[in-house]
Every structure is written in C-alpha cells, then in structure tokens.
Amino acid sequence: MPRITYVNGRYLRHPDASVHVEDRGYQFADGVYEVCEVKQGFVVDMTRHLDRLDRSLRELSISWPMHRKALELVIREVVRRNGVRNGLVYLQVTRGVAPRDFLFPQAVAPALVITARKADPAQATKRAEAGIKVITVPENRWDRVDIKTVGLLPNVLAKQAAKAAGAQEAWFVDVDGTVKEGGSSNAWIVTRDGYLVTRPAEHGILRGITRTTLFEVAASLGLTVEERGFTVAEAKAAREAFISSATTIAMPVVEIDGAPVANGHPGSVVLSLRAAFFDIAEKCQA
Ligand code: PDD
C-alpha cells in the first residue's frame, strides 16, 4: 500500500507531496501542528487535539483551513488510505503561501498538510519495559511554548544532545531549577507518598493532551495529581519519573543525567497509567 499524504486539498503519493518554497511555515515557522496517536484503528483524543489546534490558530490569528467537521473527515481518510492501525497522524496548518514579508499576507488561505505513519506497538511496549533516559538542559525557548508551533529548533537541538548522551529525551529546566517539560513531551514524577506531580500548564509548557487525559486515568485508578513545579533533585529522588505525549503515552524515565531514578527500573504507577490509558481516552474510528 503506497503512502498517501494530503496537501492543500489533494491526496498525493508521499514522494510527490510537497509545499511551495514560499510557504510561511517553511520561511518563518509561521504555523502550528498536532500529532494524534492511532491505536487499533482509532484516532485517539481527536476532540482535544482539535480544540488545542483551534486555540493555537486563534493565538496566531490564522484561520481554520476548512470546517472542523471536514478536517476530522480528512484526518480519518488519511489514516484509512495509509492503512494505519497503529501509529500516528500529523497535521500542520501554516499561514499560507505568499511573497516573503514579515507582515501577515492579506487574503491568503492557510495551508494544510496531513501525513500518517505506522508504528510497531511491540516496539513501544519494549521501550516502556526498559524505560528511557533523560538529560536536562537549560530552558532557551520563547515564552509562548503553550502554542503548538512548528518552531521547534531548540527542541531539535535538545533532543539531539540527549541522543549524543545516550538518552532519549531532554528536559528543559527553568532558571529556578524546576523542570518545565521535555523536548516533545510533558514531565512527571511520582513522590514517595504516591502522588503524581506535574507542572501547571497555565504558562511555560504545552498543555499536553496526553497529560490532560492522564488526569482522568489517574482519577480512575484512585491516584491524586498535584500540579506544581518540581526540581531536578526532587525528580532524581522520586519513586518514579515519566514522560507523556501522543507518541509515548506514559513512558517510564529510569535515569536522569546519568543518575538512576529509584532502583533504575520502570515503576508500577506509570505502567498502570499506561495500561489503563486507552480505556479512558476518546476513540474516534478512522
Ligand atoms: N509533541 N510538550 C512538547 C514540547 C511537545 O512537543 C509535546 C508533544 C508534548 C505532549 O503533548 P501531547 O500529549 O499533546 O502529545 C508536550 C509531539 C508528540 C511531537 O511534537 O511529536
């Protein structure tokens, strides 16, 4: 089955799918995106992802590329045409194509790209059984990371530094020593008393959709979540640490800057959140 990508109204063979050189996403990172998990043929938490897309678009005064209901159909169609049962769907909306000028172009339609790709669930399970390593890096991003823009260069550099150090994620750390979030995930710990702790999402991090759904999963398991900052030292001394995102769900962190978290093995709380996630999350048939 050939890979198919949606570009501005057309379903194209993936190798032929391209955007114009003067797309403002390409020239100014003037665009936003969403990544949804696809599991067992369902698009997970699509409503929340599209609510967040709406917020990102409004914050940047970019209009919707099409009616929301139509966008839902196209997302599901791209998943279907690619035969993705497990994997992810990526959608990107930019301000559109216009001669390069910093000011917003007048009367230009936003550009929309949607791709879908398969992922092997067995690989994810294996990664969760082993846990991942993180490094910490100083926060060096702008202060509107609550908007899910395609301007991700600091995240790229941080994650590349993590790879060079033999780790899989980098945590941005604020000047006050508290952990903000990962390069492409939110950060959590489980305290010695069994409380889940994650930073409040009002400012300075992306309000992760997986994070939001995990609040409900935690409640269903009788777990309490505290929204507050935590330091790197607190994370190293925690009972468990983990990250959350649409691509990792809840993924154990077993090492921070080379120091083991607890006994250096995935904890039971994160694994129970992971196991219960799909039961609680919204499932939209592709
Ligand atoms: N990233 N924080 C950042 C900086 C992220 O890029 C992401 C997601 C998250 C978690 O958000 P969610 O739970 O909605 O996926 C937090 C996606 C997966 C990516 O860029 O590939």
pLDDT > 70 in the chain, percent: 100
**What pLDDT is attached to residue 236?**
97
**Residues 137 and 195 grouped into a single domain:** yes
- Hey, what are 1's tokens? 């089955």
203 and 227 in a single domain? The answer is yes
Ligand 1 pocket, residue 149 CB under 6 Å: no
Please determine, for residue 33, whether its predicted confidence score (pLDDT) is greater than 90: yes
- Taking residues 250-278, report their average pLDDT: 98
Q: In the structure, what pLDDT confidence band is assigned to residue 241 with cuts at 50, 70 and 90?
A: very high
Among candidate residues 119, 140, 155, the one where a domain is terminated: 119
Co-location of 111 and 135 in the same domain: no
Q: Are residues 217 and 87 in the same domain?
A: no
For the annotated catalytic residues, the residue numbers are 148
The number of distinct structural domains making up the chain is: 2
What mean pLDDT do residues 225-230 have? Answer: 98
Tell me: do 211 and 139 sit in the same domain.
yes
Q: How remote is the CA of residue 100 from the centroid of ligand 1, in Å? A: 29
Over residues 111-147, the pLDDT tens digits come to 999 999 999 999 999 999 999 999 999 999 999 999 9
**What is the pLDDT of the chain when averaged over all its residues?**
98
281 lines ligand 1 (CB under 6 A): no
> How high is the pLDDT of residue 203?
84
pLDDT above 90 (res 1): no
Q: What is the pLDDT of residues 59-106, one digit of tens each?
A: 999 999 999 999 999 999 999 999 999 999 999 999 999 999 999 999
Q: Indicate the residue among 97, 119, 141 that finishes a domain.
A: 119
What distance in Å separates the CA atoms of residue 11 and residue 2, rounded to the nearest whole number? 12
pLDDT at residue 132, as a whole number: 98
User: Ligand 1 mean position to 255 CA, how many Å?
Assistant: 20
Residues 162 and 226 in one domain: yes
pLDDT at site 71? 98
Q: What is the CATH number of the domain that holds 27?
A: 3.30.470.10
* Mean pLDDT value across residues 227-249: 98
Say if residue 252 is in the same domain as residue 144: yes
Closest Cα to atom 3 of ligand 1? 184
Ligand 1 nearest-atom number relative to CA 52 = 14
- For ligand 1, say whether the CB of 5 is within 6 Å of any of its atoms: no
Give the distance from CA 180 to its chain's centroid.
Answer: 14
Ligand 1 contact via 284 beta carbon (within 6 Å): no
Per-residue confidence (pLDDT) for residue 5, from 0 to 100? 98
What does the alpha-carbon distance between residue 248 and residue 160 come to, in Å, rounded to a whole number? 18
Instruction: State the DSSP string of the chain.
Output: ---EEEETTEEEEGGG----TTBHHHHH--EEEEEEEEETTEEETHHHHHHHHHHHHHHTT---SS-HHHHHHHHHHHHHHTT-SSEEEEEEEES-B-SS-SSPPSS-PPEEEEEEEE--HHHHHHHHHH-EEEEEEE--S-S-TTS-BS--HHHHHHHHHHHHTT-SEEEEE-TTSBEEEESSSEEEEE-TTS-EEE--SSSSS---HHHHHHHHHHHHTT--EEE---BHHHHHTSSEEEEEETTTEEEEEEEETTEESTTSS--HHHHHHHHHHHHHS-EEE-
